[in-house]
Amino acid sequence: MNTRKLTSLLLLLGLVAWLGLMTGCSSDDDTSIETDPEAVVEDVVETVPEGVTPEEPADGVGINQEDVTDYAAMEPAEYGVEDVFFGYDQYDLDEVTMGVLARNARVMKEHPEVVVLIEGHCDERGTVQYNLGLGEKRAKAVRDYLVSLGVSSGRLRVTSYGESRPFALGSNDQAWSKNRRAHFARP
Amino acid sequence: MARAVIIIVLSAWLAGVAVAQGPEVSLGVVKEAYERIDIYMGTLDVLSGGMASVDVATEMETTIAQDLKFSGLFRVGMLESQAETDSLSFQFAIRGQVEGPLRDAEVTGEDAPTTISLDLVTYPDGQLLLNKRYRPMPHRMRATAHHFANQVVEMLTGESGIAMTRVVFSRGSGDRRDLWVVDYDGENLMRLTSNRTLNLCPDWKPDASEIAFTSYSRGMQVLYSLDTATGKVRQIIAQEGLNLGASWRPDGEELLLSLSRSGDPEIYRISPEGEILRRLTAVPSIEISPEWAPNGRELVFTSDMTGTPQLYILDDVGSSRRRLTWEGNYNDSATWSHSGEQIVYATRENDLIQLVLIRATGESRKLLTDARWRNCEDPSWAPDGRHVVFASDRTGTFKLYVMDVLEGGVRQLTFGDEPDITPAWSPR
């Protein structure tokens, strides 16, 4: 790096550090935005310094990305879209579930580029085929609720694994309740 | 001398084979006295070919004897299993000879022919009823024995034998379940898929040339067909939602399938090329698990239109719907016997799934299993209309078992640690 570039970088880093400190102090404020200092630094480093012609990445993505986190490559749970659970032989949404889905809808609206696959699952107490049908009902109930909250249906794919791909092994209430779920997955 | 020792050991083993294979446990529910034919499996003469031919003879004897036992139609006696043999009054016997290649023959190894000659005779007078001469390749000895056993079954009972049938099933857990196939006697286990996803609910085309099955591609269900000669897989259909529970019509021209493309699962008739031919149900509930009747004009399926899953019979244009099950609040997984008279299905009682036998008319409902077998699911009839393969987790893991529906005996078909589910018994 030449001196000019280095100076610009140092100034920018200083600005960033100051910003980091400022936002860190307002932790009591509910409306503060949590910044990830590393992400901002990455952004700054890739900003094109004056007078230098940038090399365009082969895929044409602009270097000045506001948000380098690739949500499309993450599992939905990693960015705050959580699974919901169901009663035995049921596919209706209880209050807790509706609360979780309301949060999920907010997250999804913040990231309009993201598509999720809603998988319906069942516990083992039933037959393979009927449980595939029940799993689909669970996944569709979740999809329909998210759509009613304003999430575009084109971003919500639905499938069912029935009882055939359980999360918890075991023939007890604990395992069973963990398997009666709608799971959000990366398609 | 060595040969006699081998025979003694093998006979003793065979007499106890019911225990070795898995106990002939009587379920104590369906038990009728049934007349079996007493037949004597003689020791085959080995005319030439040394130890290799002795092994062939032994394999032929034990396989034929086991096939006849497994048919449920015979009691089999062999040399030196004197205690068992004494209790039988033989009407028929099997005898024969094995001619292996001569030591100084010019042709050796794989090309060296072994000739097997087998006779079915009356006992004790030895009147010849059937003679077969085989010249099988070395790896086809067992298949040859199966073929002859079928001939014996057919000649003496008028029934077609099942000794050459196979069972396809889904094995695995977690996010991988592959299709495997096994001979009806548990031998020749072979893996059919290895595509790192769930493969379920296979169904044989009636000429056994294809197996249709449900799989997943990028999380979405697809119906595939596997060519049993080449192993190649082709897509049949991939509609939005479920593509589940394929059932080939007895003439092989169409399949039944449950598709949820309309919003909820319904029963459709489709072509083997994936064209939707006819929609058979239109109820806002789950319609699933279709199975053709052997007459190819009716079907049984599961619907929860009354609130819980029950079995219904329908004709092939979607009319004349008749409810079949009136007991229990969870009935699914119907399989229709080849005679058209009986249906076996799964019912959930107190959280456990049990198998039920019912006449296609809806009469004579009988439980075939009980809670000692834990869950018994996914029944599939054998083409003999007497045996049913099913999955049970009585050992803690689902394995496949074969039940003699007439007499209640059960033998274990598959072993090992991985769960085996959704079996389908091949056609003859």
Domain ranges of chain B: 35-157, 167-425
The 3-class secondary structure across B311-370, one letter per residue, is EEEEECCCCCCEECCCCCCCEEEEEECCCCCEEEEEEEECCEEEEEEEECCCCCCEECCC
> Which option is the CATH number for B35-157: 3.10.110.10, 3.40.50.10070, 3.40.50.300, 3.40.50.2020?
3.40.50.10070
Q: Are B195 and B412 in contact (CB under 8 A)?
A: no
Nearest-by-Cβ selection for A164 from B200, B245, B330? B200
pLDDT higher than 80, residue B402: yes
pLDDT higher than 50, residue B400: yes
CATH topology of domain B167-425: Neuraminidase (2.120.10)
User: Could you say which residues from 54 to 113 on chain A have a Cβ atom under 8 Å away from some Cβ of chain B?
Assistant: none
By CA distance, what is B286's nearest residue in A?
A133
The per-residue pLDDT for A29 is 41
pLDDT higher than 60, residue B282: yes
Cβ of B244 within 8 Å of Cβ of A129? The answer is yes
- For an interface test with B, the pick among A122, A125, A128, A177 (most B C-beta atoms closer than 10 Å) comes out as A128
Give the Cβ contact number of residue B45 at 10 Å: 13
Q: Which of A59-63, A160-164, B181-185, B366-370 has the lowest average pLDDT? A: A59-63
By CA distance, what is B331's nearest residue in A?
A127
- For an interface test with B, the pick among A89, A129, A163 (most B C-beta atoms closer than 10 Å) comes out as A129
- For an interface test with A, the pick among B266, B348, B354 (most A C-beta atoms closer than 10 Å) comes out as B348
Cα–Cα distance measured from residue B69 to residue B79, given in angstroms and rounded to the nearest whole number:
16
The per-residue pLDDT for A130 is 98
pLDDT higher than 60, residue B173: yes
Give the Cβ contact number of residue B286 at 10 Å: 25
What number is the ipTM of this complex?
0.89
The per-residue pLDDT for B20 is 36
Cβ of B288 within 8 Å of Cβ of A161? The answer is no
The per-residue pLDDT for A69 is 78
pLDDT higher than 80, residue A54: no
- For an interface test with B, the pick among A138, A140, A157, A164 (most B C-beta atoms closer than 10 Å) comes out as A164
The per-residue pLDDT for B138 is 86
pLDDT higher than 70, residue A12: no
pLDDT higher than 80, residue B6: no
How do residues B225-250 score in pLDDT, each as one tens digit? 999 999 999 999 999 999 999 999 99
Nearest-by-Cβ selection for A159 from B201, B220, B289? B220
pLDDT higher than 90, residue B3: no
Q: For residue A140, give how far its alpha carbon lies from the nearest alpha carbon of chain B (Å).
A: 9
Cα–Cα distance measured from residue B374 to residue A36, given in angstroms and rounded to the nearest whole number:
53
With bands split at pLDDT 50, 70 and 90, how would you rate the model's confidence at A56? very low
The per-residue pLDDT for A64 is 53
Cβ of A158 within 8 Å of Cβ of B241? The answer is yes
In whole numbers, what is the pLDDT of chain B averaged over residues?
91
How do residues A43-52 score in pLDDT, each as one tens digit? 333 344 444 4
Cβ of A126 within 8 Å of Cβ of B242? The answer is no
Q: For residue A155, give how far its alpha carbon lies from the nearest alpha carbon of chain B (Å).
A: 15
The per-residue pLDDT for A10 is 64
Contacts of B337 (CB under 8 A, 6+ apart): B294, B343, B344, B381, B385
Cis peptide before B101 (omega within 30 of 0): no
Residues B78-107: what's their mean pLDDT? 80
Cβ of A157 within 8 Å of Cβ of B200? The answer is no
For A86, A98, A100, A131, B212, the CA distances from A83, given in Å and listed in that order, are 10, 11, 8, 18, 33
Cβ of B258 within 8 Å of Cβ of A133? The answer is yes
Q: Which of A15-19, B36-40, B112-116, B213-217 has the lowest average pLDDT? A: A15-19
With bands split at pLDDT 50, 70 and 90, how would you rate the model's confidence at A114? very high
Q: For residue B257, give how far its alpha carbon lies from the nearest alpha carbon of chain A (Å).
A: 12
With bands split at pLDDT 50, 70 and 90, how would you rate the model's confidence at A58? very low
Global pTM value = 0.83
Give the Cβ contact number of residue A14 at 10 Å: 10
Nearest-by-Cβ selection for B201 from A128, A165, A187? A128
Asked if A177 has any chain B CB less than 8 Å from its own CB, the reply is no
Residues A115-132: what's their mean pLDDT? 97
Cβ of A157 within 8 Å of Cβ of B309? The answer is no
With bands split at pLDDT 50, 70 and 90, how would you rate the model's confidence at A117? very high
Separate counts of helices (H) and strands (E) for chain A:
5, 4
By CA distance, what is B287's nearest residue in A?
A133
For A128, A178, B89, B99, the CA distances from B198, given in Å and listed in that order, are 12, 20, 51, 48
Q: Are A182 and A121 in contact (CB under 8 A)?
A: yes
- Residue B326 vs residue B2, higher pLDDT: B326
Contacts of B261 in chain A (CB under 8 A): none
Q: Are B335 and B345 in contact (CB under 8 A)?
A: yes
Q: For B108-116, which contacts have Cβ atoms below 8 Å and span 24 or more sequence positions?
A: B110/B137, B110/B138, B114/B49, B114/B52, B114/B53, B114/B56, B114/B138, B116/B44, B116/B56, B116/B60, B116/B144
The 3-class secondary structure across B75-101, one letter per residue, is EEEECCCHHHHHCCCCCEEEEEEEECC
The per-residue pLDDT for B273 is 98
With bands split at pLDDT 50, 70 and 90, how would you rate the model's confidence at B81? low
